[in-house]
Amino acid sequence: MSGPVSIRACCAVALFIGASSTSLAYDRYPQVPVVASQDPSFLRELLLGSSTGIVRIGVFGDSQEASPETWGRHYIMEANALLVEAFGPASETVVLQQNWWDTDPNWLAASHNLVRQPGAQPQIPPVAVPPGMIVQARLGPADGVDAFHAVLMPNAERCVVTERIGSPWFLDGTDIVVDVLLSRRSNAGSLEWRGSIVESTHPVHNATALVQGSLAGQPANGASVGWITTGTLPQPTSGFRQVSILGADPALPVDVLGARFRNAAQSRGVLLQPLAVGGAAIGDFVSKHGASGPVIASLGLDAAILHFGANDSYISAQEWGSRLQKAIDLIRWAHGNPQFPILIVSDSHRLELPPGSDYDRLPGVAAAVAQANTRVIAFNMRRVHEQAFLWTDAQNLGLADSVHHKPHAQRMLARATVSTMLETAGIPVPGCAPGQSWVDRYHPLGGSCSVSWPCAVLVEADADSIGRPFFLGEDCSDADGDGRADICNEAASPDINGDGTVDGSDLGIMFSYWGGSDPIADITRDGMINGEDLGLILIFWGPLP
């Protein structure tokens, strides 16, 4: 094949080092390198540190990066799974929001939040809370009416990606505890915790406590934000660990920001912590969360990903760059480190851009910002997605609407981001043979054609998502010059039984083979018997001419 697929010949990405940032500030994304940085070598050191301690990377973004109640339940969780494949199981879960995560669990944990009405209001102001975190002022008495229940599922037993279920994604062991993140308030009470074993992956409101204890309602040592830790949870021989966090005093609340399961005996792995909220733009991070530095610092992040752009299509590239720099400054101020590692990941292709939008230039601005700041890397994922997946205005089968991606496409986005990070760090992508590109290994291109579907070159995952045939490595060339791509077959007659009439007999034959691939009833000759074949029968219903 030729054209955009030629970039797949090698596995390594091109690095952009040392060029003038001003020349890139307004370039459109196809002219912007995949990776821009003064010196990207720090990424390797960061990731390899996962062998001796947990590496936490906060992901600040919008609905595509939020998890799990929005689109990020596929993107962020798949990215975490891919990092486990590269670096082994992580020793803790993400910080669990106090939300209803029983229907859509956060990959390794399902949660169930009960709030007594009327509840108390937290004292911490909204601007001091990072995006995606939910503060709950927990009140007693500790009778279970007001409680935050969470179930640990170390093998991702309810993962939305079913093939992920069953592998050891969490570093399990005998010494599993729960960390609870608190914000200081003037009149705090205390908490109680209860550890149970439940047979269901759904939290159980009245589970029998096997271990329990009290927890202080304030962060230690006078800190404004901090962690308190439960005792060791019981180890199940069957079933799952559950923790319940409850207020103890009916008059004095405790401001809780979230909780996480953690292996207290070992610390390792790479973890993406979602800190995103739907509809967010880059400027919202500072304007709506500008005082959240202490909470961000308490999370113990080792790096941050800024994943914005989809909601910034209405501002100029110059203004976007200014707001991006302010977000970087906020995160670095929060950590007291002017060289805190920052990864800028550009958003994917989107539709329905406003007239004159600078959206196509945002990856170039990110590259310029990376060149002007030490220990910052800008990943031009827009270019990667277009070249690897062929997502453009003319063809983007990954989009569910103008900006959000379908579940299979979210997984493609995760693969692209994690693999690009690994290649930049000089770390092999799991499953790739030496010299093999991740796109050829996991997302090969090929041709697709059927009677009602014009021939197109696309990614196998996109073809599968719409039920189209896929011919690996093929294109839409017409070598025999018959006006039809060589991979396309002519349709068979809808008169399956050959009696000259398309009627119920033909319909009955089709339904007897429905869902299969037998050529007897495969009118479209696309390798599957489905609604397209049925449509042709209905079109030609009656005597054939």
410: enclosing H helix or E strand: helix 407-424
Backbone angles phi, psi at 413, to 5 degrees: -60, -45
Supply the CATH classification number for the domain 98-263: 2.60.120
pLDDT at 8: 46
User: In terms of C-beta density within 10 A (0-12 exposed, 13-18 middle, 19 or more buried), how is residue 326 classed?
Assistant: middle
Residues of the chain with CATH 3.40.50.1110: 1-88+268-443
Rounded to a whole number, what is the largest CA-CA distance in the chain?
89
Supply the CATH classification number for the domain 1-88+268-443: 3.40.50.1110
Instruction: Name the 3-class secondary structure at 388.
Output: helix
Contact 65, 307 (CB under 8 A): yes
pLDDT at 340: 98
Q: Identity (one letter) of the amino acid at 466?
A: I
Contact 510, 492 (CB under 8 A): no
Question: d(Cα 508, Cα 149) in Å, to the nearest integer?
Answer: 52
Residues of the chain with CATH 2.60.120: 98-263
Question: What residues contact 113, with CB distance under 8 A and at least 6 apart?
Answer: 98, 99, 100, 136, 147, 148, 149
Cis ω on the peptide bond leading into residue 141 (within 30° of 0)?
yes
Q: Identity (one letter) of the amino acid at 524?
A: T
Radius of gyration for the chain, computed over Cα atoms and rounded to the nearest angstrom: 26
Which of the 8 DSSP states describes residue 110? E
pLDDT tens, residue order, the chain (545 aa): 333 333 443 333 444 433 333 334 479 999 999 999 999 999 999 999 999 999 999 999 999 999 887 888 899 999 999 999 999 999 999 999 998 899 989 999 999 999 888 789 999 999 999 999 999 999 999 998 899 999 999 999 999 889 999 999 999 999 999 999 999 999 999 999 999 999 999 999 999 999 999 999 999 999 999 999 999 999 999 999 999 999 999 999 999 999 999 999 999 999 999 999 999 999 999 999 999 999 999 999 999 999 999 999 999 999 999 999 999 999 999 999 999 999 999 999 999 999 999 999 999 999 999 999 999 999 999 999 999 999 998 899 999 999 999 999 999 999 999 999 999 999 999 999 999 999 999 999 999 887 667 889 999 999 988 878 888 999 999 888 888 888 887 777 888 888 999 999 999 999 999 988 887 888 887 778 888 888 888 888 999 87
Question: d(Cα 274, Cα 80) in Å, to the nearest integer?
Answer: 10
Q: Where are the alpha helices (DSSP H) in 245-374?
A: 282-289, 293-298, 317-335, 362-372
Q: What own/partner pairs with CB < 8 Å and gap ≥ 24 does 464-468 have?
A: 464/408, 465/397, 465/398, 465/406, 465/408, 465/409, 466/397, 467/528, 467/530, 468/526
Closest among 484, 497, 492 to 532, alpha carbons compared: 492
Q: Where are the alpha helices (DSSP H) in 149-202?
A: none
pLDDT at 451: 67
Contact 47, 82 (CB under 8 A): no
Question: d(Cα 410, Cα 399) in Å, to the nearest integer?
Answer: 9
At which residue do the structure tokens 């690897």 appear? 388
pLDDT at 431: 97
Question: d(Cα 542, Cα 146) in Å, to the nearest integer?
Answer: 66
pTM higher than the cut 0.85:
yes
Question: d(Cα 352, Cα 332) in Å, to the nearest integer?
Answer: 34
- 3-state SS, 213-227, equals EEEECCCHHHCCEEE
Question: What residues contact 414, with CB distance under 8 A and at least 6 apart?
Answer: 74, 75, 76, 78, 79, 82
The CB density around residue 187, as the number of other CB atoms within 10 Å, is: 12
pLDDT at 100: 86
pLDDT at 12: 38
Look at the alpha carbons of 281, 286, 287, 290 in this order and tell me if their dihedral is positive or negative.
Answer: positive
